Structures are given as C-alpha cells and as structure tokens.
Amino acid sequence: MLHIGIVGGDHVDVALELKAALLSLDSTVIVTIDEGDMRHDAEDPRTAFADKQINQFNAICRLAAAGAQLVAFSCGCPHRFLGVLQKEVPVRLVDSVDEVKGRLPIDEYARVILATDPTPPAKPFKVGLIGGLGPAATVDLYDKIVKATPAANDQEHFKLVVEQNPQTPDRTKCLLEGGEDPTLALYNSAKRLQADGCDAVIVPCNTAHAFVPFLQRHLNVPFINMQQVTMDEIYAKYGKSAKVGLLATSGTVKTGIYSEKALAMGIPMVAPDQPHQELVMRAIYGPKGAKAGFTDGQCREDLVRAAEYLVQKHGCNVLILGCTELPLILDEGDMEIAGKTVFVIDPTSALARKVVKTAEESFARTGVR
C-alpha cells in the first residue's frame, strides 16, 4: 500500500486539497500531512532562505519516519532547492513545479505523484568507524582512508562517521587480566553507527576484533574485518610461501584472531617468545610507548628487537604490525631486518584500502557518493 507524505507547513489548506485529490484517484493510498512548525523569524533574506531549506528538510524527515514512501509539497518554494533536498533525504520527492508548465494544478500534481516510482533513491555508501581505541590509531586509520581515496576534490570522498569513545574498557586487560568487559561499549558504538545509516563498520583496534562476533549477532550492518583483509593481502602477494611473524598485543596473540585465519589459509604464523613479547607490549603500553604518545626511541628499539627475533629464529619474510599503535612506530613496506628484506604489513593500511575499494564499488553500482 502506497504511503504518501505531504509537507503542509504554512499551506495546510492546500495540503488537504491535494490529499482529497489523491484519494479520489486512488482510495487505497495512505496520505499523511506534516503540519510541523515552520520557522519565520529570520532577520535577513539569506537566513530566511536557509530557514526554508531546513524547514522542508525537517518535515520530510518526520514524514519518512512515519513511513512515507513519496513526499509531495503544498507550495512551490522547494523547487528552487529540490536537488539539494533529494540528496539529503531517504525518500523520493515529487516536485510541484514543472519546468515548462510552472506550478501544477492540484489534480494534475496528484496524478504526477501517483505515477512516480516510490523506490527510494540510491543511497550513498557510508562507513562507520568505532574510534578511541586508541585516539591516535583512529586518526591514523582515517588519514590512511583519505590518502587511499582516488579523489580530485572534497566531493569525491565518501561519507564516514566516527563514534569516538576512548572510555571503552581496555580490550587486552579484559582478555588477559579479567578486566572490565568492553562488549557493551563496543556494541553501543556500533549500534549508533547502524542507526546513522552506515553500510559497514570498522574498528581501528586489532584486539577489539575478538569481541566483534558477540556484536555482529545483534546488528544488521556488517564489519569489515581487519585481520581477514590483512591475510588476504599477504596471500595475494606471497601465496603459501609466506612465513608470517605476528607483532601484536598479548591479548591479540591469545585470541588467535590472526593465527586461526592463517591456519585456514595454509600460511605458517609465529609470535615472539615471552621475553620478546614483553618488548612488544612495552613498545605499546610502556611509559615511552605508543599509547603514551611516543613513536621513536625506546619503543622503536623494543619493536625492532622483537622483529629481529622473528626473522632470525623463524625465517619470517612477512611481519604483521598487529596492533594499531605499531604502525605509528614502523612504516609499512619492505624493510631490512637482521640482514634480510622483510615485508612489513600494516593492517590499518590494509583495512583502509579495503574500505576504499568497497566504497568505490558502491559508487560504480549506484553513481551516488
């Protein structure tokens, strides 16, 4: 059953006439009139014009929330900015003004409305980012997404929402020490991103991915998995000749969120022994570590020593920077470690590349950014 919304505003009498005309042509349709208050206290013409746009936008959103599939207007003023309105709302708008005929008579406008396809307009791709895990890693991922996007101007970038919650309990402490569980904080962030219309959710925290299966059961929006996209890139580059060393928090190592994927793909993966794992943890959490804002000095020395161990002891030709703080210390790319050229992969960069690829594929399908 078709549900039509009419922005009544200052012309409720016209809206009522239009409703009667619609029902006389098709008695099965549902017609809702929005009589919401329209602000008219602007002190200058430019503010008044902005008010008109915002008044119409708010009314359309109320009608969409009420279930309207098409939205019509009781006046002709939205014609001036209908294109802008249509980009910002999730329902199909029907102009009351014809470019040739001008403002349509009510009966003719009613016929145009009923002949309009109620299919919602194509939705631009939007990604939601659960941020604050930690704040610097969030900025790093966003920066990499921007740099990976093939855009010549602002408008060629895609929509991205950050739900910044640095108060999310520490994931590693939960996994290793029985600390406060971050599940609800992560879920609440993801839920808000889903409500905002995001098509995918990303998390710039490797350890947080251990909790994603608990969240996904209660969400409709999918996560783009950082570990999977990283392993996919390694396999595409090296196949089963890869020998992977994992530099990550002890919590990430313990969960197997990388090693289980490597095993399923037939790729050998090792982590540092206890003394060298302690160096990795110090590079991340120590007083001179990445979470304290350091990216050089002791934290770099500690991380390089752990990397040298993996190359010398296990013959690794690929190293994963499996904590989102570690790419702040070491760059992605080929690196000389213990006399051997090793490919260092940054999962944050791999995730950024996958997000951009997904967004570009969406644009190719819909033509909408």
**Is 69 inside any structural domain?**
yes
pLDDT digits (tens, 9 = 90+) for 269-306: 999 999 999 999 999 999 999 999 999 999 999 999 99
Q: Among the three residues 115, 149, 178, which one is the final residue of a domain in this structure?
A: 115
CB 249 within 8 A of CB 281: yes
Residue at which a domain ends, from 94, 115, 136: 115
Residues 62 and 199 reside in one and the same domain: no
Q: In tens digits, what is the pLDDT along the chain, a chain of 369 residues? A: 999 999 999 999 999 999 999 999 999 999 999 998 899 999 999 999 999 999 999 999 999 999 999 999 999 999 999 999 999 999 999 999 999 999 999 999 999 999 999 999 999 999 999 999 989 889 999 999 999 999 999 999 999 999 999 999 999 899 989 999 999 999 999 999 999 999 999 999 999 999 999 999 999 999 999 999 999 999 999 999 999 999 999 999 999 999 999 999 999 999 999 999 999 999 999 999 999 999 999 999 999 999 999 999 999 999 999 998 899 999 999 999 999 999 999 999 999 999 999 999 999 999 999
Asked if 261 and 210 sit in the same domain, the reply is no
For 136-185, what is each residue's pLDDT tens digit? 889 999 999 999 999 999 999 999 999 999 999 999 899 989 999 999 99
200: nearest Cα among 145, 267, 275: 145
Q: Are residues 18 and 105 in the same domain?
A: yes
Contact 33, 19 (CB under 8 A): yes
Do 98 and 33 share a structural domain? yes
Q: Write down the pLDDT at residue 284.
A: 95
* Residue 107: count of CB within 10 angstroms of its CB: 14
Domain-embedded: residue 121: no
Q: In what order do the strands lie in the sheet with 333-337?
A: 269-270, 244-247, 318-321, 340-345, 333-337
CATH number of the structural domain spanning residue 17: 3.40.50.1860
Domain identity same for 95 and 188: no
**CA distances, 344 to each of 133, 221, 296, 297, 333 (Å):** 22, 31, 17, 19, 5
The Cα 184–Cα 351 span in angstroms is: 24
Q: Quick one: 335 and 358 in the same domain?
A: no
* 84 and 100 co-located in one domain: yes
List residues with catalytic annotation.
Answer: 205, 323
For residue 99, being part of any structural domain is answered with yes
The boundaries of the domain holding residue 111 are 3-115
Q: Is residue 153 part of a domain?
A: yes
Spatial separation of the C-alpha atoms in residues 23 and 146, rounded to whole Å: 50
Please write down the HEC assignment for all residues of the chain.
CCEEEEECCCCHHHHHHHHHHHHHHCCCCEEEEECCCCCCCCCCHHHHHHHHHHHHHHHHHHHHHCCCCEEEECCCHHHHHHHHHHHHCCCEECCCEECCCEECCHHHHHHHHHHCCCCCCCCCCEEEEEECCCHHHHHHHHHHHHHHCCCCCHHHCCEEEEEECCCCCCHHHHHHHCCCCCHHHHHHHHHHHHHCCCCEEECCCCHHHHCHHHHHCCCCCCECCHHHHHHHHHHHHHHHHCCEEEECCHHHHHHCCCHHHHHHCCCCEECCCHHHHHHHHHHHHCCCCHHHCCCCCHHHHHHHHHHHHHHHHHCCCEEEECCCCHHHCCCCEEEEECCEEEEEECHHHHHHHHHHHHHHHHHHHHCCC
pLDDT of residue 56: 97
Residues 207 and 356 in one domain: yes
Tell me, yes or no, whether 273 lies in a domain. Answer: yes
Do both 157 and 245 map to the same domain? no
Residue 278 lies in a domain: yes
Instruction: Give domain status of residue 120, yes or no.
Output: no
Query: Could you tell me if 193 and 143 lie in one domain?
Result: yes
Query: Would 221 be classed as within a structural domain?
Result: yes
Same domain, 58 and 135: no
| Boundary of a domain, candidates 66, 90, 115 | 115
Q: How many domains does the chain have?
A: 3
Backbone angles phi, psi at 95, to 5 degrees: -70, 140
User: Sign of dihedral through CA atoms 290, 294, 295, 300?
Assistant: negative
- 236 with 330, same domain: the answer is yes
Q: What is the pTM of this model?
A: 0.90
**Selection from 74, 209, 198 nearest residue 127 by Cα:** 198
